[in-house]
Amino acid sequence: MTPLDWIIIAAYFVVLATIAWRSSKHTATTAEYFLAGRNLPWFVVGCSLLASNIGSEHIVGLAGNGATSGMAMAHWELHAWIMLMLGWVFVPFYYRSGVFTMPEFLERRFDGRSRWTLSVVSLIAYVFTKVSVTVYAGAVVFMTLLPDTFGSPENAFWIGAFTTVVLTGIYTVIGGLRAVVYTEVAQTGLLLFGSVFITIFGLQQLGGWGELQTVLSAKADQFALWRPMSDPDFPWLGIMIASPIVGIWYWCTDQYIVQRTLAAKSLREARRGAIFGAFLKVLPVFIFLVPGLIGYALHTKGVISIPAKADGSVNGDMVFPTMVASLLPAGLRGIVVAGLLSALMSSLASLFNSCATLFTVDIYEKLRPGRPEKELVRVGRIATGVVVILGVIWIPVMKLVSSGGLYQYLQSVQGYLAPPITATFLLGLFFKRINARGALAGLVTGFILGMAKLTIQAMDGSGAFGDSGLLHAIGAYNFLYASGWLFLISIIVVVGASLTAPPQSDAQIAGLTYHSLTPEQKAETRASWGAAEVVGSAVVLALVFSIYVYFSFWLS
């Protein structure tokens, strides 16, 4: 890192501080603090959706999996089509109901017990999948780029982790969601701009796209988009089952993402924001995953040297920081590091605000109704700090689970948390007969089973069960198939438990399922879209389809 790099990074922080300071003037009420006054345009919503999604764990983790597993993880990055589901299928119900949170919507559809359950599960999920992973990935980059600045790489790791958490927490606490989303617009541009240089400089050093295909063709099976059923990590059937389950949970029902659309100024703006976000979502394959492929090729040719794990294999989580340190000149390195900080801080900021919203609206306000607005905002800020501390504590444990790499860890854990939530929301929207008893039973059963699988997997990763036995078999069972089984079990439990209790009345579910919409509500939804939304959605679907077709055959 040269003085020019540090100047660029300092300028980036000045811009963030300015945006956060201006946003802090509009945080007097809970609507302003948690939903930015429900006044965001579609462009800001779309940028915020991508920036919230693309954290340092994506940049570091995707590049790592690109180098070690090829295109296998691209399936999760091609979920732009699921973002279209958010805009077309889910958002009309959420936005029309006027809720602050997803648990609040479940209370409208079912009862308060479902709201409590989803609130607690979501906060736990944020600790396991968002705080720890995002902070860990950013800290890995600090450890690589500044190994001696703080005495040792290990010191750089922890100082980097705590510094980014504190700085992000400050502007999130001060400015609320408005500060988060408007800083994310700037961060999205910087993130995309900076990440493109890794691809460009990597291909230049390698000798072009054709050379990349030549190098990877030597191990085409390892880098293919589709893997055979015998593949121990990414069998194609497992991917087809699990990735949509995780995708629908993440993009259509998770507070962390959906909160951006709830803050839009109208239903039309919310839908357009989701469509624009879907268009942006196509880009990560090329600017995060492909650089990992390039990094492996450069390592194979001896142009760069990526650190190895104890077993001699490439350490995937070190691919991106090694490429930054080895390939980029002064100035550009600062831009890319600033882009990485953008990714880290935008994801953390989104997380902090979502945690504050969930705890304050769904837990504290239920326990102490009628409290003043200022007290609710203050409680949310305290809750955020607690979640961050728990996430940092979980980082050492995470290393035991993430033997397959950072991004695979992320998808693995989400694969255990998502199924019951996805099942409950889908069944709740499309079937009137699903009731409160079924929703509660499905959420609780699915969560317990998912956490059991995660715990056994973590223990098995540490060698607690040896190489045989039932517990070892459960711990080592493929996470993709495990996600599918959890989803099926959750559906059976939701439906079965619902049939043991009387159906809810039409008044209770009015406007909350597709079969209970009034003519006025249907007309309102139809008036919120036109040719622009249809064309935009068609373009996104065409892009996703084209990418699938190309990468299905690119190494053959």
DSSP codes of every residue in 384-435: HHHHHHHHHHHHHHHHHH-TT-HHHHHHHHHHHHHHHHHHHHHHHHH-TT--
CA-wise closest residue to 251 among 411, 120, 85: 85
The per-residue pLDDT for 404 is 47
Spell out the SS3 assignment of 221-243.
HHHCCCCCCCCCCCCHHHHHHHH
Tens digit of pLDDT for each residue in 339-396?
Answer: 777 767 777 777 777 787 888 888 888 888 888 877 887 787 787 777 767 766 766 6
95/13: higher pLDDT:
95
173 HSE (CA, 13 A, CB side): 15
The per-residue pLDDT for 87 is 94
377/479: higher pLDDT:
479
Spatial distance between the Cα atoms of 99 and 108, rounded to a whole number of angstroms: 9
Would you identify the CATH topology of the domain 3-553?
Answer: Sodium/glucose cotransporter (1.20.1730)
- Coil, helix or strand for 555? coil
Helices of type H across 462-502: 470-476, 479-499
Residue with tokens 């499905």: 442
What are the tokens at 323?
């490429």
Q: Which residues pair with 308 in a beta bridge?
A: 314
Mean of the pLDDT values across residues 188-201? 80
In this model, does residue 167 exceed pLDDT 70?
Answer: yes
CA-wise closest residue to 202 among 304, 379, 327, 343: 327
| Range with the poorest average pLDDT among 122-131, 223-232, 279-288, 414-423 | 122-131
Give the amino acid at 424: T
192, 194, 199, 205 alpha-carbon torsion, rounded to 10°: 170
Mean of the pLDDT values across residues 248-271? 90
Helix (H) or strand (E) holding 534: helix 531-553
- Residues 434, 490 contacting (CB under 8 angstroms): no
Spatial distance between the Cα atoms of 510 and 290, rounded to a whole number of angstroms: 47
Q: Where are the domains of the chain?
A: 3-553
In this model, does residue 25 exceed pLDDT 80?
Answer: no
Spell out the SS3 assignment of 449-473.
HHHHHHHHHHHHHCCCCCCCCHHHH
Summary mean pLDDT of the chain:
83
The Cα-based distances of 426 to 110, 297, 325, 401 in angstroms read 13, 42, 45, 29
Residue 254 gets which letter from DSSP? -
In this model, does residue 56 exceed pLDDT 80?
Answer: no
Tens digit of pLDDT for each residue in 325-337?
Answer: 888 887 888 887 7
Residue with tokens 């009034």: 518
List CB contacts of 312: < 8 A, sequence separation 6 or more: none
| Range with the poorest average pLDDT among 161-170, 372-381, 521-530 | 161-170
Spatial distance between the Cα atoms of 354 and 293, rounded to a whole number of angstroms: 34
The per-residue pLDDT for 162 is 74
The Cα-based distances of 485 to 446, 489, 492 in angstroms read 10, 6, 11
- Cβ neighbours around 62 below 10 Å, total: 30
474 HSE (CA, 13 A, CB side): 17
In this model, does residue 306 exceed pLDDT 50?
Answer: yes
Q: What percent of the chain has pLDDT over 90?
A: 31
What are the tokens at 520?
């006025």
What are the tokens at 540?
């996104």
Spatial distance between the Cα atoms of 541 and 369, rounded to a whole number of angstroms: 45
Tens digit of pLDDT for each residue in 380-410?
Answer: 778 777 776 776 676 666 555 544 455 566 6
